[in-house]
Structure 1
Amino acid sequence: MFFSRTEDYIQRFLLQRNIHKPYDLTIKNIASSLDIPVYYWEYSSECVYVNERCLIFLNSNRSEQKQWQEFGHEIAHFLWHTGRQEFLPPTFIELQEWQANYFSYHLCIPTFMLQRIKTKITPKYVMNLFNVEYEFACKRLEMYRNKWLASI
């Protein structure tokens, strides 16, 4: 199975940061490797720029799994997008949000790590291994399966 550009990018990104296994995938590991402070607050999660420095804010009321998933989304904005969305046309904002969601699925459950799993891959197993919510694991496995089916 070939890797998409996103999968290649994420694999390189993680391996450059010495993140090789699912238990290495943490907010702390990734944020510290990028020198991005993460703050927890009661509002929605977002990536903000203050004096050209990125700050990530995560909702403190969410589960650890949801915070991890939202972190993946916000990191995508930091790595792939520039500027402030409020000045963009609505269709461009939709595109950026779609890209950030797609990125989040692949960062939180990287393809190269999925390929290493030797046991039967189930949503519950993936949920526990990668510390994500059940629905998130289901969606990511659907993406993985569809890609695998398309390649054969």
Structure 2
Amino acid sequence: MYLSRTEDYIQQLLLERHIRKPKDLTIENIASSLDVSVYYWEYSSECVYVNEKCLIFINYNRTPQEQWQEFGHEIAHYLWHAGRQEFLPTLFTELQEWQANYFSYHLCVPTFMLQRLKPKITPNMIVNTFQVEYHFACKRLEMYQSKQLASI
């Protein structure tokens, strides 16, 4: 199965930072390796810049799984987008949000790690291995299986 540009980018990003196993996939590991500060607060998650330093704010009322998924979304904005969305046309903002969501699925459940699981992967295996929510695991498995079928 070939890797998309996103999958390849994430694999290189993680491997360069010695993140090779699902247990290594943590907010702390990724944030520290990218020199990003993470703060927990009561508001919605967001990525902001202060003096050219990236700060990611995550809602502390979310479950650890939701926090991990939101971190994946916000780190995509840091790595792939620049500027403030409120100054962008609506379609550009929607595109960036779609890209960040797509990135999150692949960062939180990287393809190269998913491929190492048993031949019959289930949503529950993904939930337990990658610490994501069930609906997130279902969507990620659907993405993975669709890609496998397309490769045949």
TM range (shorter): over 0.9
Q: Residue deviations 1:48-107, cap 9 Å, x none? A: 111111100000000000000000000000000001101000000000000000000000
Distance 2:108 2:18 in 1: 15
Corresponding residue SS for 2:116: coil
Distance 1:11 1:31 in 2: 16
Q: Which amino acid aligns with 2:116?
A: R
TM-score between both structures, scaled by the size of structure 1: 0.99
Distance 2:131 2:119 in 1: 17
Match of 1:92 in 2: 92
Corresponding position: 1:126 with 2:119:
no
Distance 2:147 2:94 in 1: 23
Corresponding position: 1:107 with 2:112:
no
Q: Residue deviations 1:5-62, cap 9 Å, x none? A: 0000000000000000000000000000011110000000000111111100000000
Match of 1:151 in 2: 151
Corresponding residue SS for 1:39: strand
Match of 2:32 in 1: 32
Consecutive unaligned residues of structure 1, counting only runs of 5 or more, are: none
Alignment coverage as a number of residue pairs: 152
Match of 1:135 in 2: 135
* Percent of aligned positions that are identical: 77
Corresponding residue SS for 1:2: coil
Q: How does 1:20-99 map to 2 (within 5 A)?
A: 20-99=20-99
C-alpha RMSD of matched pairs (Å) = 0.7
TM-score between both structures, scaled by the size of structure 2: 0.99
Consecutive unaligned residues of structure 2, counting only runs of 5 or more, are: none
Distance 1:86 1:119 in 2: 44
Q: Which amino acid aligns with 2:74?
A: E
Q: Which amino acid aligns with 1:130?
A: F
Corresponding residue SS for 2:128: helix
Q: Residue deviations 1:101-139, cap 9 Å, x none? A: 000000000000011112531001100100000000000
Distance 2:7 2:105 in 1: 10
